[in-house]
């Protein structure tokens, strides 16, 4: 090895702790970049692969009932490729040993096949045997939640009749990657499942022989989904069609797409911060190294090393540190990416996960690290290269200090001499002090994200299900039913309160914007379903007009007082103009609300309700469930709170993983910044501090001068960091806003405290390490050497 390269290795070894601290920051940036992008690629790849292999449909429509002969007309729509009709039913299930209400979707499968579109993926077991009417396939998540295996039996209420079904296979479907009950917001694998059954028995149970109530399509290349949807809606209108949707609006697919978008945001925001900090640290450390070595550099140049050679020499040092960061970052990133993909596989219902690590991701991560590092050190390295040798041969002149602002203001008598040294040192390098503070602040800010996510979900749930939708159970009727049915619900032993609601699918339109959702008719002074205003006060429903979810008003660009067009996608499919009376704060979903009686009038129907909200006495829960199951009119029962609980359990792992990672990364940054700043301060002031020791200062007094400065900067950095963290969370909340959910920007005191604490801890760890270095302060060297 060339001597000059040996110099590099030895120097790297001498500054190994600093190099490691910087490398760790790069590791963080690279790993989170690789984690997010590879997770993203994996999800895209897996989803794409799954969709393709299992022929996920592109247009979905449900209707009341249409004869199979209608297929011919649908096939004539230009752009339609494949068509599959199905019989789909929403049923109550009864799992042995599980008392809570369970509902499920029962889908027909053509004889002895995986289906034409939305093909099932068989995890195990077999398809149906002809003639056996009671065989089903069960969705994997549901089967796992209940520990059901092939051969086990479950009971279902199919069109009012109890049936015992035998599980012959466990399956998954691209249609239910995100598996939630209608009306629910969170997956609850215990209380909602998907089942497949042979078409014949299912059709005859629902009087659908030779008919269908659900149709899915694929499109031929280059055709416009919206055109097809419009034509399909025209055809299905007469058969009770509730409006076809494109794949992008299909619920499961939409949730997944939103998730992918969030990954994308994470993939950009975080690495930017880490790379910026890494660049800063490298700059500080390399600048210092170069200023320490200016006389060596001069020597090298005097012996005929060119500017370029000197520049390359220091660039190599930077690259060596970056290389450690890249290698570590790739390893950590792949590990984290696989972990993340597995969490996704659990959170969603994928049959498999193809972990994709594109070479491009690694190349770009490496390239970004290298470029950032070089940009960060360019100035310092260029200065080293350009250093006129004759000048550099002379030792650097003593730094120029000034009396600080505070001293000029005449306040110095309040400060001891060491404190004045601290203040002067900070004031002499305002920019560097600022960047150090900013670096620590960034760390502090990053650490708030984990806590923010957790708190945000809590708030979301508290507001939505604690204050707004307060029912214990929601019973959904098979079809709109008279208000009088509520009496039988109220009479159930254990039901304390029951409120009816009416809900219809509708297309809302204002000017050139439109949005598909549902209009909810709710009781004026309802106890269980209440709308909240911006300050979370209950809104009294107006006599006329609709109230929109605040986010929906934003989507439609509509204000209270404007006239909204509502096209009901059910029954007579009336289109009416209704004034927007106000907006309501909601974190989950987007809907339109009006008085139930007003909605009934609008639909030109009597006092009909689509379902009921129930408050149930805890002690009688079981009995109420049991009774509800027996009611033929009730298609399903949703227990939102249990769903939330189940969701929390699934999510806990994700949140924990994320909190762990963001804390680790934040701590890395704050340690990296604080430790490096201290080391550099120590190296810059080595001589000064050693001289003070010679003059009789104690180690503590000397430490105070050195560490006091960083303590001061850290103390300043924390409030700034909390602000930055708030901003970061606000940005994420804003970026994560979708019509499915909005993340409230709520940051508890514990979130702030945690971030501040970790920063203080990592500063303390650095301080301890520096304290040990101070013990080795070489007093003799100071006296011996020149300067």
Ligand X SMILES: Nc1ncnc2c1ncn2[C@@H]1O[C@H](COP(=O)(O)OP(=O)(O)OP(=O)(O)O)[C@@H](O)[C@H]1O
Which residues form the interface with other proteins (CB under 8 A)? Answer: 2-4, 6-7, 10-11, 14, 295-296, 298-307, 388-391, 393, 395, 786
Which of 296, 391, 416, 482 binds ligand X (CB under 6 A)? It is 391
Least separation in angstroms between CB 384 and ligand X: 17
Q: Which residue, 112 or 391, has its beta carbon nearer to ligand X?
A: 391
CA dihedral in degrees (301, 307, 308, 309; nearest 10)?
A: 10
Q: 388-424 burial by CB neighbour count: b if 16+ within 10 A, else e? A: ebeebeeeeeeeeeeebebbeeeebeeeeebbbbbbb
Name which of ligand X, other proteins, none residue 96 binds, using a CB cut-off of 5 to 8 Å depending on partner kind. Answer: none
Q: Is the dihedral of CA 52, 58, 60, 65 positive or negative?
A: negative
Q: Are 358 and 34 in contact (CB under 8 A)?
A: no
Q: Which does 164 bind (CB under 5 to 8 A by kind): ligand X, other proteins, none?
A: none
- Interacting residues with ligand X between 240 and 259 (CB under 6 A): none
**Nearer residue to ligand X within complex by CB, 248 or 394:** 394
Shortest spacing between CB 11 and other proteins, in angstroms? 5
Q: Which does 2 bind (CB under 5 to 8 A by kind): ligand X, other proteins, none?
A: other proteins
- By a kind-dependent CB cut-off of 5 to 8 A, residue 305 interacts, out of other proteins, ligand X, none, with other proteins
Give per-residue burial for 695-716: e unless 16+ CB within 10 Å, then b.
eebeeeebbbbbbbbbbbbbeb
Closer residue to other proteins, CB minimum distance, 51 or 314: 314
- What's the CA gap between 456 and 732, in Å, rounded? 11
Q: In the range 392-451, which residues lie near ligand X by CB under 6 A?
A: 394
- Is 164 a residue that touches ligand X (CB under 6 A)? no
Rounded to a whole number of angstroms, the minimum distance from the CB of residue 291 to ligand X is 16
Nearer to ligand X, 396 or 649 (CB): 396
Select from 467, 478, 589 the least CA-distant residue to 530. Answer: 467
The site partner of 11 among other proteins, ligand X, none (C-beta below 5 to 8 Å per kind) is other proteins
Cβ neighbours for 174, distance < 8 A, ≥ 6 positions apart: 50, 51, 54, 56, 118, 119, 121, 252
Do the beta carbons of residue 522 and residue 595 sit within 8 Å? yes
* Total residues in contact with ligand X, by rule CB under 6 A: 2
Distances (CA, A) of 56 to 176, 253, 270, 318, 344: 10, 10, 34, 50, 20
Residue whose C-alpha is closest to residue 693's, from 775, 631, 578, 637 = 775
Residue 781 beta carbon to other proteins: minimum distance, rounded to whole angstroms: 8
Q: Which lies closer to other proteins via its Cβ, residue 400 or residue 695? A: 400
**Token pair recorded at residue 7:** 């110099």
Q: Provide the minimum distance between the beta carbon of 394 and ligand X in the complex, in angstroms, as a whole number.
A: 6
Compare residues 360 and 395 and give the one whose CB is closer to ligand X.
395
Burial of 429 (0-12, 13-18, 19+ CB in 10 A): middle
Task: Give the CB-nearest residue to ligand X.
Answer: 391
User: Which of ligand X, other proteins, none does residue 306 bind (CB under 5 to 8 Å by kind)?
Assistant: other proteins
Cα dist from 23 to 286, 614, 724, whole Å: 13, 58, 24
CB of 289 or CB of 732, closer to other proteins = 289
**Residue 388 contact partner, candidates ligand X, other proteins, none, CB within 5 to 8 A by sort of partner:** other proteins
Residue 434 binding: pick among ligand X, other proteins, none (C-beta 5-8 Å cut-off by kind): none
Q: Which does 10 bind (CB under 5 to 8 A by kind): ligand X, other proteins, none?
A: other proteins
CA dihedral 292, 297, 302, 307 (to 10 degrees): -150
Q: What's the half-sphere exposure (Cβ side, CA atoms, 13 Å) at 112? A: 4
The CA distance from 116 to 122, in Å, is: 14
Which helix (H) or strand (E) segment is 486 a member of? helix 485-490
Q: Least distance (Å) from ligand X to the CB of residue 369?
A: 38
Dihedral sign, CA of 372, 376, 382, 385?
A: negative
Using DSSP, state whether 492 is helix, strand or coil.
coil
CB of 698 to ligand X, least distance (A): 37
Token output for 256: 């997944």
Burial of 566 (0-12, 13-18, 19+ CB in 10 A): buried
- Residue 297 or 722 having the CB closest to other proteins: 297
Cβ 334 to other proteins shortest distance, Å: 35
Nearest distance, CB of residue 368 and ligand X, angstroms: 40
Residue 512 contact among ligand X, other proteins, none, beta carbon within 5 to 8 Å by kind: none
In whole angstroms, how close is the CB of 267 to ligand X at the nearest point? 50
Task: Tell me how far, at minimum, the Cβ of 407 lies from other proteins, in Å.
Answer: 23
Which residues in this chain contact ligand X in the complex, by CB under 6 A? 391, 394
């Amino acid at each position: 090895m060339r001597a000059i390269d040996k110099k590099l290795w030895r120097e790297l070894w001498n500054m190994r702790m600093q190099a490691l601290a910087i490398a760790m920051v790069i590791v963080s940036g690279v790993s989170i970049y690789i984690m997010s992008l590879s997770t993203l690629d994996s999800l895209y790849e897996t989803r794409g692969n799954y969709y393709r292999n299992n022929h996920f449909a592109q247009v979905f429509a449900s209707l009341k009932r249409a004869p199979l002969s209608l297929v011919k007309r649908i096939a004539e729509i230009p752009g339609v490729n494949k068509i599959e009709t199905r019989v789909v039913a929403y049923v109550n299930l009864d799992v042995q040993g599980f008392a809570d209400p369970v509902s499920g979707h029962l889908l027909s499968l053509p004889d002895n096949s995986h289906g034409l579109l939305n093909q099932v993926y068989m995890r195990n077991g077999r398809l149906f045997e002809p003639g056996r009417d009671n065989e089903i396939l069960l969705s994997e998540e549901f089967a796992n939640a209940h520990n059901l295996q092939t051969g086990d039996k479950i009971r279902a209420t199919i069109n009012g009749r109890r049936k015992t079904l035998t599980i012959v296979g466990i399956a998954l479907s691209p249609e239910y990657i995100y598996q939630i009950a209608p009306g629910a917001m969170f997956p609850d694998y215990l209380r909602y499942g998907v089942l497949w059954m042979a078409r014949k028995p299912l059709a005859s149970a629902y009087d659908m022989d030779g008919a269908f109530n659900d149709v899915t399509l694929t499109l031929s290349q280059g055709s416009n989904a919206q055109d097809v949807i419009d034509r399909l809606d025209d055809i299905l209108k007469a058969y009770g069609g509730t409006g076809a949707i494109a794949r992008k609006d299909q619920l499961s697919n939409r949730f997944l797409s939103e998730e992918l978008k969030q990954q994308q945001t994470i993939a950009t925001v975080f690495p930017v911060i880490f790379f910026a900090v890494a660049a800063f640290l490298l700059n500080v450390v390399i600048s210092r190294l170069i200023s320490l070595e200016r006389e060596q550099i001069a020597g090298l140049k005097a012996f005929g090393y060119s500017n370029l050679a000197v520049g390359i020499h220091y660039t190599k040092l930077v690259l060596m540190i970056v290389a450690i960061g890249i290698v570590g970052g790739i390893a950590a990133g792949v590990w984290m990416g696989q972990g993340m993909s597995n969490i996704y596989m659990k959170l969603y219902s994928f049959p498999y996960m193809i972990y994709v690590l594109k070479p491009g991701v690694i190349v770009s991560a490496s390239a970004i690290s290298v470029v950032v590092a070089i940009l960060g050190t360019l100035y310092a390295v260029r200065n080293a290269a350009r250093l006129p040798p004759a000048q550099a041969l002379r030792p650097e002149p003593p730094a120029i200090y000034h009396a600080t602002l505070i001293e000029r203001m005449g306040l110095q008598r309040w400060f001891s001499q060491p404190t004045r040294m601290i203040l002067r040192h900070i004031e002499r390098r305002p920019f560097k002090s600022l960047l150090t503070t900013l670096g620590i602040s960034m760390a502090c800010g990053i650490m708030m994200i984990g806590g923010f996510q957790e708190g945000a979900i809590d708030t979301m749930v508290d507001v939505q299900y604690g204050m707004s939708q307060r029912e214990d159970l929601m019973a959904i009727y098979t079809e709109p039913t008279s208000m009088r049915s509520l009496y039988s619900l109220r009479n159930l032993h254990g039901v304390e309160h029951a409120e009816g609601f009416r809900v219809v699918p509708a297309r809302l339109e204002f000017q050139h914007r439109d949005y598909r959702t549902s209009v909810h008719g709710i009781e004026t002074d309802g106890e269980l379903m209440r709308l909240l205003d911006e300050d979370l006060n209950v809104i009294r429903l107006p006599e006329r007009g609709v109230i929109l979810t605040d986010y929906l008003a934003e989507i439609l660009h509509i204000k209270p007082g404007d006239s909204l067009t509502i096209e009901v996608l059910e029954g007579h499919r009336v289109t009416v103009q209704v004034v927007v009376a106000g907006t309501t704060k909601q974190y989950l979903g987007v809907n339109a609300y009006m008085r139930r009686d007003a909605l009934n009038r609008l639909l030109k129907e009597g006092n009909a309700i689509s379902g009921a909200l129930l408050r149930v006495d805890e002690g009688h829960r079981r009995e109420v469930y049991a009774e509800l199951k027996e009611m033929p009119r009730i298609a399903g029962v949703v227990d939102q709170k249990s769903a939330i609980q189940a969701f929390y359990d699934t999510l806990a792992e994700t949140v924990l993983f994320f909190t762990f990672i963001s804390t680790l990364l934040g701590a890395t940054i704050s340690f990296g910044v604080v430790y490096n700043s201290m080391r550099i301060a120590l190296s810059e002031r080595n001589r000064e501090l050693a001289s003070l020791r010679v003059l009789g200062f104690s180690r503590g007094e000397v430490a105070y001068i050195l560490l006091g400065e960083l303590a001061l900067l850290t103390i300043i950095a924390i409030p700034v960091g909390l602000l930055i963290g708030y901003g970061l969370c606000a940005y994420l909340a804003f970026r994560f806003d979708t019509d499915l959910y909005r993340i409230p920007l709520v940051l508890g005191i514990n979130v702030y405290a945690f971030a501040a604490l970790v920063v203080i801890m990592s500063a303390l760890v650095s301080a301890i390490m520096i304290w040990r270095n101070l013990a080795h302060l070489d007093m003799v060297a100071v006296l011996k050497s020149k300067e």
